[in-house]
Structure 1
Amino acid sequence: MLHKRPNNRLIGLALALSLPLFTAACGAKDDNVGGFTNDLTGNEIKVTALRDPQLPQVTCYFGSFDRSLLDRLGKGNWFENPSNTAIDCHQTSPIDATTLATLPKNAEVFSKGSSLFFKSIALRRIVDVPNQSIVYVSYSRELVAASAKLGMSVVPVTFLVPPAPVAAPAPAAAPAPNAKP
């Protein structure tokens, strides 16, 4: 009985087409705010709003570059987007001091694949309690050679502190007794 070997090219193509769907399903929820094309080949700048899953009072706006099909065909390197990113984060509602103190001091908040093979753009939160700040760093991560391209945004944390009690006014001095001449 003859066994036919599967066509490796077809298997590779099926994996290549299904991997972006798989990584999209596993990624954190993000909201596309907008985008625009920036050249004649259709390359696009995308702006995405990301809420910190452990600290929803902070929203980060993440700008990334998405290569067009025409650019991919013309320049090769079909399965990869550039590592360049821009980020800006801000506090959208009050943060409790105890919440800030209980957060992990250094944690990955978001990661999104930017290549078919082992390249991703990540967002990391670093909590600086003494300076009442949260630092968000966006960077590219690769299996072998990581990129030095990064973006950083600092969110100053303002706490809602109850006002100090107002001191009661001092009692008025008693009038001096009437002296007789």
Structure 2
Amino acid sequence: MKLSKLKSVLLIAAGVFALSGCGQEDVGDVSLGIFTLKDIKINRFVDPVVTGVTCHVSSIEANLALSDPSNNSIECHLTGPITREMIDQIDKSKDGEVIFTRSKSVLLKNMKIRRIYDEQAQTLLYVAYSTKETSGSFHHSLSAIPLYGTGGYIKPLPKVENSTK
């Protein structure tokens, strides 16, 4: 009796997981063929703070599976204004901040997108990555948005080199 209860819970969890992949941010769905249950899903999201940046993320979803492959790709573009006020609000630490998360497994595997600010290059970096190692690798992908030409750009100060003459 306990085994059938576990199967029921797993089936319900798989159904909830499958439905959680639906939403307004889904913009593309590419079938990988007639003999596979895997599709490439393309999602769009706007950075919640730097709203002038829109990113598109592609990842593989395995229908009727408890876990999706970890492969992903990200591309971000300037799609609106970026202001200095927006840049002032973001996390400027070396590890940045997670701005998007999507479940890829009922077993705690997620795809996350993190924004990192490169102050010296005046660039926003967006890295998409899997939180679970597969095939010896944490799969990841990177996209960059230069701030030059936007209201968020500040001319970087030249690096001062210590001279000991």
117-126 or 34-43, which moves further after superposition?
34-43
Judged with a 3 Å threshold, the aligned counterparts in structure 2 of structure 1 residues 123 and 23 are, in CA distance, closer, same or farther, namely farther
Q: Does 1:148 align with 2:138?
A: yes
Shift of 1:24: 6.4
Q: Does 1:159 align with 2:150?
A: yes
Which aligned runs of 4 or more in structure 1 are off by greater than 3 angstroms? 17-20, 22-25, 143-147
Q: Does 1:104 align with 2:94?
A: no
Structure 2 CA distance, aligned partners of 1:65 and 1:132?
Answer: 32
Give deviations 1:37-64, integer Å, cap 9, x for gaps. Answer: 1222242111110111222221110001
Shift of 1:145: 9.4
- Specify which of 82, 87, 100 is matched with residue 74 of structure 2: 87
Residue of structure 2 equivalent to 1:64:
59
Give deviations 1:94-150, integer Å, cap 9, x for gaps. Answer: 111232132112000111111111111111110122322100001100289983211
With structure 1 as the length reference, what TM-score do the two structures score?
0.69
Q: What does 1:127-142 align with in structure 2 at a 5 Å threshold?
A: 127-142=117-132
With structure 2 as the length reference, what TM-score do the two structures score?
0.75
Asked whether the equivalents of residues 41 and 68 of structure 1 are also in contact (C-alpha less than 8 Å), the reply is no
Structure 1 CA distance, aligned partners of 2:62 and 2:17?
Answer: 20
Shift of 1:30: 5.5
Judged with a 3 Å threshold, the aligned counterparts in structure 2 of structure 1 residues 147 and 91 are, in CA distance, closer, same or farther, namely same
Secondary structure of the 2:88 match is helix
Asked whether the equivalents of residues 67 and 106 of structure 2 are also in contact (C-alpha less than 8 Å), the reply is yes
What is the percent sequence identity of the aligned residues?
Answer: 27
Unmatched runs of 5 consecutive residues or more in structure 2:
153-165
Judged with a 3 Å threshold, the aligned counterparts in structure 2 of structure 1 residues 144 and 55 are, in CA distance, closer, same or farther, namely same
Which amino acid is 1:11 matched to? K
138-147 or 88-97, which moves further after superposition?
138-147
Secondary structure of the 1:147 match is coil
Unmatched runs of 5 consecutive residues or more in structure 1:
1-6, 70-77, 162-181
- Size of the aligned set, in residue pairs, is 145
Residue of structure 1 equivalent to 2:11:
17
Residue of structure 2 equivalent to 1:117:
107
The CA RMSD measured in Å over matched residues stands at: 2.8
Judged with a 3 Å threshold, the aligned counterparts in structure 2 of structure 1 residues 160 and 124 are, in CA distance, closer, same or farther, namely closer
